[in-house]
Amino acid sequence: MPVKRTDPYLSFRFRVEVGNLIVANVSEVSGLQMEVETESYAEGGVNDFTHNFPKRTKYQPLVLKRGITDLDDFWSWYKDVRAGTIERKNVAVILMDLTESDKWRWDFRGAYPVKWTGPELKADSNTIAFESIEMVHQGIIDE
């Protein structure tokens, strides 16, 4: 029987969708993390372990990082939230294989920015000016 190769996917082949737009110039994504909180209970007379009961799922903020261009959609979205106009958008992070076929997809519901970080500006450096946007969301869609 032939062995099927299961090489891991490369982390630099991805795309991000915010709302219905593909944000192709995102260079880094972090915050793909969720955790089930637990509550410990030490039962009387049971001395060799502690019960851990699941409570709720906690999600980390999603952070998108990209080089600054003439597109100011992240900055505008953050300014609107700061002014009190919160527009929630669904965000998708899609991991692709070498043929650029979608392999993994994480869909975040109801995201909006809570932090915008501009570039570090240094006169003696020739690096790309990056911005990042940190978003909270209402969880990962399981459809």
Give 103-137 pLDDT, tens digit per residue: 889 999 999 999 999 888 888 888 888 889 999 99
- Tell me the CATH number of domain 14-136, given options 2.40.50.100, 3.40.50.2000, 2.30.110.20, 1.20.1090.10: 2.30.110.20
Q: Which residue has the higher pLDDT, 116 or 13?
A: 116
Phi-psi region of 80 (alpha: psi -120 to 50; beta: other; left: phi over 0): alpha
Instruction: Give the pLDDT confidence of 23-57 residue by residue, as tens digits.
Output: 767 889 999 999 999 999 998 888 898 999 999 99
Place of tokens 């993994």: 104
Q: Which residue has the higher pLDDT, 24 or 78?
A: 78
pTM more than 0.75: yes
